């Protein structure tokens, strides 16, 4: 009896509190990409100190996870802002619309570079994206077009005779990480595309899609992705977890190894590690900003316009984020490793963001 009445009271209490949960929220809720997280949190913190609004809560869920939560509905119990290290996909916009989230503002905040680094005391590395692709994927193209063989390369010299004869040993993020996605897309796929017959797969897939043959388009696209994005599993690529600090420490101890991580970690640890030049371009603040460094990606955040006015401070938060003190060339975000937009673009973006301009995706 005691247990039963306890259960009943519990159910009643939960029921009573549920109704009061949705009533109102006085802090902004932000979810999304772990790459944007360090920037978003800094702005959130300063926003909380500078203004009388509460400090926003920032969760790091990954870009995809962020959109899932963001697009789950228009209610006050869903996040107000989601961060992303890629542009919102058409499917995600549709998902949002299906759940009643129609008015979204897109804010492009800048860029992030991914570095392939080794220990300071080790020799400099000069890589091309083709080298990276050949060294790290599971199956590489053989001499004959259209044929794949298991990756035979053991040392960097096997890949490219200009490189040192050290064993291929790369510490990088696991598949769950956004950095890994971006690395696969920009570095591996970039090298992959230098093989004409593989590139042809993608072109064929697009042609098939236009011809209306959806099944063929998907098969070709999947084949292309498998070739380009599948990382080898024979120990040359070591998944070092999401912790980039750990990778830096391991590189410092093992001069023969290379590591993959975000530019901000390189900047903070420039006494221990150095970045490799990719396609002849050294990684630096400037080369990422002007787009010559090939492995860099845009960073965004998306705002749910319906929540403006319901949750206090959203407009002011956008204003703080898009102020030159924050995302400008000398702003506090660049101190944390954000690569800013060009001044003219920044100005235009600030105006459109503060005016809550609606997101429009170009038809692909």
Partner 1 sequence: MSETTKKIQQGLKKRYAREKRFRFFGLLSILISFTFLLVLLTTISSKGLPAFQQTYIKLDVLLDEDVLGVNKTSEHQALFAANYGKVIKNSLKTMFPNVKGRKQKRALKNLVSKSAAYDLRDEVIKNPDLLGTTRSFWFLAKDDIDMFMKGKIDRNVPEADRRIKDYQLLWIEQLMTEERLEKRFNTVLFSAGDSREPEQAGLKGAVMGSLFTMLVTFFLSFPIAVAAAAYLEEFAPQNNRWVDMIEININNLAAVPSIVFGLLGLAVYISFFGIPRSTPLIGGLVLALMSLPTIIIASRAAIKSVPSSIKEAAVGLGASPIQVLFQHTLPLAMPGILTGTIIGMAQALGETAPLLMIGMVAFVAEVPSGVMDPSTVMPVQIYLWSDSPERAFTERTSAAIMVLLGFLVLMNLFAIMLRKKFERHW
Q: Which residues of the shown chain bind partner 1 in the complex (CB under 8 A)?
A: 2-3, 6, 14, 17-18, 21-22, 25, 27, 29, 37-38, 40-42, 44-46, 48-50, 52, 54-55, 57-60, 77, 120, 242-245, 262, 264-265, 267-271, 330, 332, 335-337
Which is closer to partner 1, CB of 190 or CB of 337? 337
Which is closer to partner 1, CB of 5 or CB of 210? 5
C-beta of 317: minimal distance to partner 1 in Å? 13
C-beta of 28: minimal distance to partner 1 in Å? 10
C-beta of 184: minimal distance to partner 1 in Å? 21
Mark 329-364 as b/e (b = at least 16 C-beta within 10 Å): eebebbeebbbbbeeeebeebbebbbebeebeeeee
Which is closer to partner 1, CB of 14 or CB of 210? 14
Euclidean distance between CA atoms 328 and 309, whole angstroms = 27
Longest dimension (CA), the chain: 80
Which is closer to partner 1, CB of 225 or CB of 315? 315
Q: Are 40 and 305 in contact (CB under 8 A)?
A: no
Q: Which two tokens stand for residue 279?
A: 């396609």
Which is closer to partner 1, CB of 195 or CB of 263? 263
C-beta of 23: minimal distance to partner 1 in Å? 11
> Which H or E element spans position 106?
strand 104-119
CB hemisphere CA count around 57 (13 angstroms): 10
Euclidean distance between CA atoms 303 and 67, whole angstroms = 11
Euclidean distance between CA atoms 158 and 134, whole angstroms = 10
C-beta of 178: minimal distance to partner 1 in Å? 13
> What's the angle, vertex CA 35, arms to CA 71 and CA 353, rounded to 5?
55
Which is closer to partner 1, CB of 30 or CB of 186? 30
Compute the Cα dihedral for 298, 304, 310, 311 and give only its sign.
Answer: negative
C-beta of 209: minimal distance to partner 1 in Å? 36
**166 contact partners, CB below 8 Å, separation of at least 6:** 155, 156, 256
Which is closer to partner 1, CB of 49 or CB of 143? 49
> Which H or E element spans position 131?
helix 129-136
C-beta of 284: minimal distance to partner 1 in Å? 12
């Amino acid at each position: 009896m005691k247990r039963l009445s306890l259960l009943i009271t519990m159910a009643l209490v939960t029921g009573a509190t549920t109704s009061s949960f949705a009533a109102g929220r006085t802090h902004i809720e932000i979810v999304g990409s772990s790459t944007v997280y360090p920037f978003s949190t800094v702005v959130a913190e300063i926003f909380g100190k500078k203004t009388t609004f509460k400090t926003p809560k920032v969760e790091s869920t990954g870009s995809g996870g962020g959109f899932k939560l963001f697009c789950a509905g228009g209610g006050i119990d869903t996040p107000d802002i989601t961060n992303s290290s890629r542009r919102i996909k058409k499917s995600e916009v549709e998902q949002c619309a299906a759940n009643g989230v129609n008015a979204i503002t897109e804010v492009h905040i800048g860029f992030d570079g991914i570095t392939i680094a080794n220990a300071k005391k080790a020799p400099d590395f000069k890589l091309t994206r083709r080298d990276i692709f050949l060294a790290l994927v599971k199956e590489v193209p053989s001499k004959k077009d259209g044929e794949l063989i298991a990756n035979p390369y053991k040392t960097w010299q096997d890949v490219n005779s200009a490189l040192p004869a050290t064993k291929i040993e790369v510490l990088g993020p696991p598949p769950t990480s956004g950095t890994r996605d971006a690395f696969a897309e920009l570095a591996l796929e970039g090298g992959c595309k230098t093989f004409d017959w593989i590139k042809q797969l993608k072109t064929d897939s697009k042609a098939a899609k236009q011809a209306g043959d959806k099944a063929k388009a998907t098969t070709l696209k999947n084949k292309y992705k498998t070739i380009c994005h599948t990382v080898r599993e024979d120990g040359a690529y070591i998944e070092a977890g999401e912790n980039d600090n750990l990778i830096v420490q391991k590189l410092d101890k093992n001069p023969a190894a290379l590591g993959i991580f975000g530019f901000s970690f390189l900047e903070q640890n420039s006494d221990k590690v150095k970045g490799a030049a990719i396609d002849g371009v050294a990684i630096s603040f400037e080369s990422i900003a002007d787009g010559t460094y090939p492995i860099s990606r845009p960073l965004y955040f998306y705002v749910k316009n319906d929540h403006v006015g319901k949750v206090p401070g959203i407009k002011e938060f956008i204003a703080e984020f898009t102020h030159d003190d924050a995302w400008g060339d000398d702003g506090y975000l660049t101190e944390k490793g954000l690569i800013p937009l060009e001044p003219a673009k920044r100005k235009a973006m600030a105006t459109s963001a503060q005016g809550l301009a609606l997101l429009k995706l170009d038809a692909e």
